[in-house]
Structure 1
C-alpha cells in the first residue's frame, strides 16, 4: 500500500493498493493480448477511498436471473483529485524501486 503525494494530507492515510509481479491479465475481452510469455512483468493498483462514489446498482425486476442495472458514475464528482492520485500511482509503480544495500 502506498500514499500518493497529493493525498499526503488526507484523513484516511494510504490511498493506493498496488502489486507488481511476473503476471499478466490476459484474455478479458476480444482482441486483448494473451501471449505475453514468461518475461511479462506487470503492475496493477486499486484506488481506495475515491472521491467519486456516486454509483448505483438497481434491480431491473424481481427475477434473480435478470441482470441488474449498474451505473458506476466514475468521475462525476471528485474527478480532479481521483485522477491525480491515480496518475501519481502509475508514475510511482513505473519507476524501479530504490533499494539501499544493507
Structure 2
C-alpha cells in the first residue's frame, strides 16, 4: 500500500511527466500555469530561509502557489482539490536580466 505522503508526489509525476527537462547549461525558466503551480526548468538551487539546499530531485520541478501542498515548496496537486484559481494571467515575459 502506498503511504499518503507518496501519493501527492505520484500525482506530480503523472501531471508533469511530459514536460521536457532542461539541460545542465540551460538558463532557468519559470512558467506560471493558470490555476496551478510554477514550473521551474534549468539548473537551479532551492534554499530554506537558513540557506540549506533543498534537493529538487528533478531538473524540472513544480512549485506550489496555492499554499496547501503537503510537499512544500513543491506542488502535490492540491490546487485541484481546493479549486485554486489565479487572479489574473501572468504579465507578458520580460527581457532576460544581464550582468
TM-score > 0.5 by shorter chain:
no
Q: Which one has the largest radius of gyration?
A: 1
